[in-house]
Homo-oligomer: A and B are copies of this chain.
Amino acid sequence: MSDRLTHVDAKGEARMVDVSAKDVTVRQATATGRVFVSPTVVGLLRGEGVPKGDALAVARIAGIQAAKKTPDLVPLCHPLAIHGVTVDLSVSDDAVEISATVRTADRTGVEMEALTCVAVAGLTVVDMVKAVDKGAVITDIRIEEKTGGKSGTYRRVEQGDS
């Protein structure tokens, strides 16, 4: 791992790091996150009483689209050909659990794409429920695993603290 911030040069100036010499290989990343919501919202998202309808679909689609927008959102990210995205949302007893996996065959990893996917799916859940619950909190957005590329496989070590 590097001991310095690669996105700023020796003078501290932001740059997009040159990756033109990196290999095109298959890379994959999985990120997760969670939106804490009120019991009322949990009921509504489970379809109790009223049709939940498109509620989670909107978040799923927003996440997929956001993965494609990552280089437009995160200034020093490279544009990248995203080749596959899945977003899973499930409703637990106090939260919407989000998991996203992004795949590519390109020159850089897709960790930022997976995290952006989760973050925007989470924002969309908050938007969906905000008329019912103004206190929703998006939390624990993080990389669970990445594979491919020169740095190889990374798996998050659980620390019991989050």
Residues of A within 8 A of B (CB): 1-21, 26, 33, 36, 40, 44, 50-55, 57-58, 60-62, 64-69, 71-88, 103-107, 111-112, 115-116, 119-120, 122-124, 126-143, 146, 154, 156-157, 162
B84 x A12 contact (CB < 8 A): no
Report yes or no: A15 in contact with B128, Cβ–Cβ below 8 A: no
Partner of A66, one of B44, B68, B73: B73
A80 to B106, CA, bound (A): 12
Contact call B52/A75, Cβ cutoff below 8 A: no
Since A1-B132, A115-B126 are in contact, a sample of 19 more A-B pairs with Cβ atoms closer than 8 Å, ordered by chain A residue number, is A5-B53, A9-B86, A12-B55, A15-B85, A20-B103, A20-B104, A21-B26, A54-B60, A54-B61, A57-B61, A66-B73, A68-B79, A74-B127, A75-B124, A81-B81, A119-B120, A135-B157, A137-B141, A139-B162
Assess the A128–B20 pair: CB atoms within 8 A. no
A104–B119 alpha-carbon span in the complex (Å): 24
CB of A138, distance to nearest CB on chain B (Å)? 4
- Would you call A77 and B112 a contact (CB within 8 A)? no
Closest-by-CB residue of B relative to A62 is B75
Q: Give bound CA distance, A75 to B53, whole Å.
A: 15
Closest Cβ–Cβ distance, residue A158 to chain B (whole Å):
11
